Structure 1
Amino acid sequence: MTRTTLPRPVDIAAVFPELAPLARTTTRLHPRPGTPTPQESSVGGPLLWPIDDPWPFCEDPHLHVAPLTTLADVRLKRDTLTAAWKRPRHPGVNLLTPEEDAIIKRIQAGHSWTDEPIAMIPVAQLYARDIPDLHPPLGCDLLQVLWCPFDHPEEELPKAKLVWRSFSTATALLSNPPQPVAVQSGDYIPEPCVVHPEQVIEYPALSDLDEALREQIKAWQAREKTIADAGNFAYSFGLSVAPGWKVGGWTSFSFRDAEPAICPCGTQMQPLLRIDSTEWDGGSGSWIPIEDQALNRNPDLSYTPPWEPVMVTIGRAYTMQIYTCPASVDHPPVAWMQ
């Protein structure tokens, strides 16, 4: 199924022509639970990984949290709760059976800390043929993103690794990649999702505009919006930066001050991939794809709401933005919680 974003409620570049030259395209990934293969673009799916290519492990310091869990237990907990939510419920009857309750309590008890190297896990696999805003280096047509499923001291985020490759050179494939001996929590374990790429136009967040234009937009919002359509006329939520997982485009900041990401070489880095805790929220309803609007209005009673298909949570439902240096693919990426 495709995913289709409605045209913006207002052509903001017609209202403010100064925005027109600042327009950028971004590719919304629209990840939804499925069974992707290594030959497909995906979020949290299997990677097209050559058998002779060493699998990445993280040996960096991790923030100590307790208790730990395992990848298998995260999957088991989700499966158990998903099955429980699907059953008919009656007043006064527990959601979980005694057997299920014992499983959840065992998982919640967790595991003790480990200092072993942690095998990284797949986060995204993006083929250039599917993602128009993915601009791979010469000779490459596939981006693979992995991370260590633990917070790291620098940004209190998982440590990400980017791998660029040519899919035609991956012939003999690794079928059973290493699994981490432990993970911090289920927050950093993406559900396997197929993607439905869609290219849309974005404009800079208010924080990226010069002060004069920023104040003009704020004044226009105050004049135009009503209680009924406040979200549609809110530049930050309905007219500038799209929510959800996406490639390229503009970024937005929430709890941290807006600032450019600068590579140690002095070059301003560019947004590559945004990992979002939700596909939309109460303030960004105009971005809900046409195909998901009925489900959003009438979400079924399920363990996972439709706006959290990947089941990844960054901080307090923030985003993780990965930046790369346009000067060289060899310069390390930067990841910020925003």
Structure 2
Amino acid sequence: MTRTTPARPVPAEAVFPELAAHRGRTTRLHPRPGRPGVRDSHVGGPMLWPYDEPWPACHEAHERRDSGYPPDEIRRARAAGEFPRSRPWPGEGAPGEGGPVPFVGLAQLFRRDVPRLAAGPGGADLVQIFRCPYSHGPSLARRYHLRWRRAAEAERAGRFLDAAPEVPVLPWEHELPEPCALHPEDVDTYPWAEDDTLPAPLIARIDAWDDAQAAEHGPDALSYQGDLSIPPGWRVGGFPSWASTGPMSVGCGSCGAEMGLLLTAGGDEADANSHSWVPVEDRGPSLPGKASLRGGVSVVRPTRLRFGRDRDLHVFTCPTDPGHPPQWVLA
């Protein structure tokens, strides 16, 4: 089903004409629960993974776990509209006792579905994203993995992995993605307004406009970051959001080149400050504003994933050589 972002509550360039010189485009992926297949772009669905190719695994030391949520219990609870029950770790070999841990497949994107997706090394047009389900060390750091493929070459494998390997229990319910089909849509976007992301006089005008909106409209006020700048949720290309960290420069660890934003993964597709981005197809026609939202968790948090403390995960790749290691930034 098509997803259509509503027109902005006010046109950004009508309020700030200087933004025209900084306008960009991003592809909103609009994940929604579904039954994607191995040849589909998706979040949380089955990967196009040759049967005889080893599944990626994390071999580092992990934070010790004694209990958690079995993946099948999570699926059962979601189907019933309940929260899963925690279970003790079954048997030996819990994380922290050694042994590899299979990565969880988060998403795969084909360039044929998302033309704005940057090309990978050697003309690769399929990217697959993974995360280790367990944290590492006292800082609770996470490990991610990116795999590039040429789609036509991968599809000639003939036989594909029926089911990805899973750990017996996950530390949290939000480590298991809900299988979601994608509904890509290109929209205009503008840079985050902080530090030197835009000219200083323009940022000052944006800040003053935000303050005036808040003074006049209170909690229902519009804001540049929430309503005019960058849409929430999963998206490809465009500008990174910096709500938690503030803007930062991301350089390639191999050659030093400034890296480009490949994609952003977000836990929420909308929140109290960004509900104006919810597609028209997910709204009721008789109610205004956020009261018009319908679909519940399948619209607001369809993938069920979380990144950090409800932050955005930005995946940066090297424009000089996309085969260089990516950078993963929580912001």
TM-score computed with the length of structure 2 as normaliser? 0.86
Verify: 1:297 aligned to 2:281, yes or no.
no
Q: Which residue of 1 aligns with 2:13?
A: 13
| 1:264-318 deviation line (CA, Å, top 9, x unaligned) | 221111211211111001111210100112296367797x463011111223322
Look up the match of 2:99.
Answer: 116
Q: Does 1:180 align with 2:167?
A: yes
Counterpart position of 2:77: 77
- Looking at structure 1, the residues matched to 72 and 314 of structure 2 have their Cα atoms a distance apart, in angstroms, of 27
SS in 1 for 2:145: strand
1:235 aligns with 2:228: no
Moved more, 258-267 or 12-21: 12-21
**Kindly tell me: are residues 299 and 249 of structure 1, through their superposed partners in 2, closer, same or farther at Cα, counting changes over 3 Å?**
closer
Match of 2:150 in 1: 166
Matches within 5 A, 1:134-213: 134-137=117-120, 138-153=122-137, 156-170=140-154, 171=156, 172=158, 173-207=160-194, 208-213=197-202
* Cα distance in structure 2, aligned partners of 1:156 and 1:181: 20
| 1:1-338 paired onto structure 2 within 5 Å | 1-80=1-80, 82=81, 107-111=85-89, 113-114=94-95, 115-137=98-120, 138-153=122-137, 156-170=140-154, 171=156, 172=158, 173-207=160-194, 208-223=197-212, 226-227=216-217, 230-232=220-222, 234-264=223-253, 265-294=255-284, 297=291, 304=297, 306-338=299-331
Counterpart-to-counterpart distance in 2, 1:21 and 1:64 = 51
Secondary structure of residue in 2 paired with 1:9? coil
- Contact 1:29 1:247 (C-alpha < 8 Å) held by counterparts: yes
The RMSD of aligned alpha carbons is: 2.6
Query: Which stretches in structure 2 are left out of the alignment for 5+ residues?
Result: none
Bigger CA drift: 57-66 or 261-270? 57-66
2:58 touches 2:103 (CA, 8 Å); kept in 1? yes
Cα pair 2:318 2:326 within 8 Å, conserved = yes
For the residue of structure 2 that corresponds to 1:214, the secondary structure is helix
1:155 touches 1:336 (CA, 8 Å); kept in 2? no
Alignment partners' CA distance in 1, 2:172 and 2:312: 17
Which SS does the other structure have where 2:203 is aligned? helix
Cα 1:162–1:319 change in 2 (3 A) is same
- Higher mean alpha-carbon deviation, 146-155 vs 251-260, is at 146-155
| Residues 213, 221 of structure 2: 8 Å contact kept | no
Task: Classify 1:248/1:78 alpha carbon distance in 2 versus 1 (closer, same or farther; 3 Å).
Answer: same
**1:230-250 CA distance string (max 9 Å, x none):** 543x10100101101111111
Q: State how far apart, in whole Å, the 1-side matches of 2:58 and 2:124 are.
A: 24
Identity rate of aligned residues, in percent? Answer: 35
**Alignment-mate amino acid for residue 152 of structure 1:** H
Q: For residue 263 of structure 1, report the CA deviation from its aligned partner.
A: 1.6
Q: Quick check: 1:30–1:197 contact (8 Å CA) kept in 2?
A: yes
Mapped contact 1:217–1:235 kept (Cα < 8 A): yes
More divergent stretch after superposition (239-248 vs 112-121):
112-121
Using the TM superposition, name which of 259-268 and 61-70 deviates more.
61-70
Distance 1:65 1:291 in 2: 42
Deviation at 1:5, TM superposition (A): 0.3
Offset of 1:47 from its aligned partner? 0.9
Amino acid in the other structure paired with 1:195:
L
Q: More displaced, 52-61 or 147-156?
A: 147-156
TM-score for both structures, normalised by structure 1:
0.84
Please give the alpha-carbon distance, in whole angstroms, between the structure 1 residues aligned to 2:257 and 2:135: 27
